[in-house]
Amino acid sequence: MDIRSLSEKEMEELALSLGEKAFRGKQLFQWVHDKRVGSFDEMSNLSASFREKLKEKYTISGVTQVEKQVSQKGDTAKYLFALEDGNVIESVWMKYHHGNSVCISSQVGCRMGCTFCASTLTGLARNLTAGEMLSQIYEIQRDTGERVSNVIVMGMGEPLDNYDNLLHFLRLVSHEKGICISQRNITVSTCGLVEQIRRLAEENLQITLAISLHAPNDEIRRRTMPVANRYGIDEIIQACRDYFAVTGRRITFEYSMIRGVNDKKEHAEELAERLRGLNCHINLIPLNEVRERECLRSRKEDIQQFKLVLEKNHRNVTIRREMGSDIDAACGQLRKKFLTKSSRN
Ligand code: SAH
């Protein structure tokens, strides 16, 4: 079992069960999440016998770099990581003026099936543990030597389809005795699983919830997102209104712009109308074209026009700045390339 996924309380209970005092569990937590050591032998204030007992049952399973691509400007790096069982995932590091962001994966693959996305091409292999989500951040902070201040759970996978591990992760990554990343600097992105959004609202978290909307109505949404057959757009938006009412946290809507599908003026009008009265931010994302997928990116002028219509309707909107498009920084593409290469060998 991976020791990184345990909470401080669980470590205290573990220490007690192995015949140690509870505070040894607190020390263990500090080694794992504050000092972030890679082996039990480095935990010098724990007795050798305690360390041996821990080693029998637990591992400190990190992630191992398989490949790293750095953008020409040096402000984006994409990592391909191997997990203990040989599965590979990807994570992205982005340097901004306000700090460094890491975009992490929450599953190996994904079962949501969005037609424009590369992460879902091979289906879902398995969920990531909380420790594996944390390890992506620990390894990138170690590798870059720079503090990570922001986390976005927007890599491969549907985080709300891995709810319990995600929650463990969120509590650990923001723990004051760990890497201590402020919940206000954490964004979780979902394709819109309504029950889980409602559950998340009750968890007393300060994170930002992002919804991948990508369409102004159900008819268009169903063309690219199979999950739209399970939940209607109004049901999702109502869950967002309620989420805001409970948490006071402004919602972000992501809208990937696909040529001829969702980028017309009337789509912008319809979207503005649907979101009326909701405190939210709309992030327009020029589609990253994926070789295996047929979707094309919207034209620049259509994206601009879409933004103008939303602004005229007093909606808060930005166009996502593109980073790392010279490396395979787009949504599951580096892993896909790796899998294709290794299956040919
Ligand atoms: N499953 C979650 C998080 C992972 S995807 C979700 O659906 O939100 C992160 C974001 O990238 C989502 O908004 C997703 O729809 C979007 N995305 C996926 N493939 C893309 C592509 N090729 N171009 C642009 N955005 C893409």
Which residue out of 101, 255, 285, 296 has the highest number of ligand 1 atoms within 8 Å of its CB and is therefore the one to mutate?
285
The backbone torsions φ and ψ at residue 45, rounded to the nearest 5 degrees and listed phi first, read -90, 5
Q: Are 187 and 154 in contact (CB under 8 A)?
A: yes
Atom of ligand 1 nearest to the CA of 331: 19
Query: DSSP for 186-209?
Result: EEEEES--HHHHHHHHTT---PEE
Nearest CA to ligand 1 atom 24: 287
pLDDT of residue 84: 93
In this prediction, residue 61 carries a pLDDT of: 79
pLDDT in tens, the chain (345 residues): 899 999 999 999 999 999 999 999 999 999 999 999 999 999 999 999 999 999 999 999 789 999 999 999 899 999 999 999 999 999 999 999 889 999 999 999 999 999 999 888 889 999 999 999 999 999 999 999 999 999 999 999 999 999 999 999 999 999 999 999 999 999 999 999 999 999 999 999 999 999 999 999 999 999 999 999 999 999 999 999 999 999 999 999 999 999 999 999 999 999 999 999 999 999 999 999 887 788 899 999 999 999 999 999 999 999 987 766 666 655 566 776 777 666 554
Q: 172: helix, coil or strand?
A: helix
- Would you say 4 and 32 are in contact if contact means Cβ atoms under 8 Å apart? yes
Contact between 342 and 90 (Cβ < 8 Å)? no
Pocket of ligand 1 (CB under 6 A): 112, 114, 116-117, 154, 158, 189-191, 212, 254, 256, 285, 287-288, 290, 330-331
Residue with CA at minimum distance from ligand 1 atom 13: 212
Q: Which residue, by CA, sits nearest to atom 9 of ligand 1?
A: 154
What pLDDT is stored for residue 294 in this prediction?
Answer: 83
Contact 136, 66 (CB under 8 A): no
Ligand 1, residue 110: give the atom nearest the CA. 1
Active-site amino acid positions: 90, 331
Query: What residue type is assigned to position 113 of the chain?
Result: G
Q: Which atom of ligand 1 is nearest to the CA of 114?
A: 15
Task: Tell me, in angstroms, the distance from the centre of ligand 1 to residue 336's CA.
Answer: 15
> Considering all CA atoms of the chain, what is the largest pairwise distance in Å, rounded to the nearest integer?
69
Pocket test for ligand 1, best of 94, 189, 193, 290 (most atoms within 8 A of CB): 189
* CA 152 to ligand 1 center in whole angstroms: 12
pTM: 0.95
pLDDT at 324: 65
